[in-house]
Homo-oligomer: A and B are copies of this chain.
């Protein structure tokens, strides 16, 4: 604490990201990165951007990237917003759209950055409990609130709503902005992007960090009605004119254009998720039905905290959250087959060990 901090800085409760330790031989299944590298074409584009033109500012509007994303998703470039990772896109959406007179609604178990943004921007919010099966129950979002944000698939549960459920929700709340955070959508859920044409209150947020394997490049985006995008742009242009550097714009364009590589990667991850789910079940875990590149699983005989610690001892990193309803669980990224082999081996050893005395 310092006398020079603003009241705002004093009142913050910053987000704590998953660790990025530098330990040799570590099996890193804690931050939902892709086990496969990015598209080789994306890497080549980043390299090609590292030339003398780096002396020049990037295109502040990321025009070409927004055109490529618009083509890909069947919308107009004016319906696309890009930012420095989907976290920055979400931050601008909280400030520009979700800060309303009525409270913002979101699930009680979801991405733990949401309350952090609320604190930063002074947004009043109410959490809506998941149902007994850890599912988002959309009818609970009707009849109250000034805005809604839902992660779909939700994190850390991995459970997805159908497009039809999202459509009913946005249609039932035409008076307020609804943000669907689709960071994990490419691993088996239905995107709501096709709904933006008929629903000017809907903003869909996606990222290149997961299914495009570009977490290290920092590119996220949002798609919605042009007026929503203009609102985000106003916030962005009041914060940082040039959020995406030249290498980031170039790499993101090439990644979107490499459809074959994208499909191959995401299908391999879906296949690995199936195998991981089976392996965990045979070790006695309850595994929530995941549409993401991670699973959320608990063991009836062991606490989540103890299991995470035991895995860490064996150089396997998974994510454990404290807090009601989630502290029994581990969130485990779907890694490569080799990584998942190391995980199940370490888990089997832990479960077989006599309990600590």
Contact = CB atoms under 8 A, between A and B. Distances in A.
A95 B6 contact: yes
Interface in A63-81: none
A225 B217 CA distance: 30
A235 B120 contact: yes
A282 interface: no
Given A2-B228, A214-B54, A216-B245, A238 B117 contact: yes
B6 A99 contact: yes
B55 A36 contact: yes
A20, A119, A227, A251 interface centre (most CB from chain B within 10 Å):
A20
Interface string A193-229: 0000000110000000100011111100000010110
A98 B177 CA distance: 31
A234 interface: yes
A247 B5 contact: no
User: Binding site of A, secondary structure by majority: helix, strand, loop or mixed?
Assistant: loop
A53 B216 contact: yes
Interface in A9-36: 9, 12-18, 20, 28, 31, 33-36
A108 interface: no
A4 B243 contact: no
Interface in A88-116: 88, 91, 95-100, 116
A251 B6 contact: no
A184 to B, nearest CB: 15
A200 B5 CA distance: 12
A188 interface: no
A264 interface: no
Given A95-B120, A245-B247, 4 more contacts: A9-B231, A17-B241, A217-B245, A245-B248
Interface of A: 1-2, 4-9, 12-18, 20, 28, 31, 33-38, 42-44, 46-47, 49-60, 84-85, 87-88, 91, 95-100, 116-117, 119-121, 176-177, 200-201, 209, 213-218, 225, 227-228, 230-231, 233-248, 251
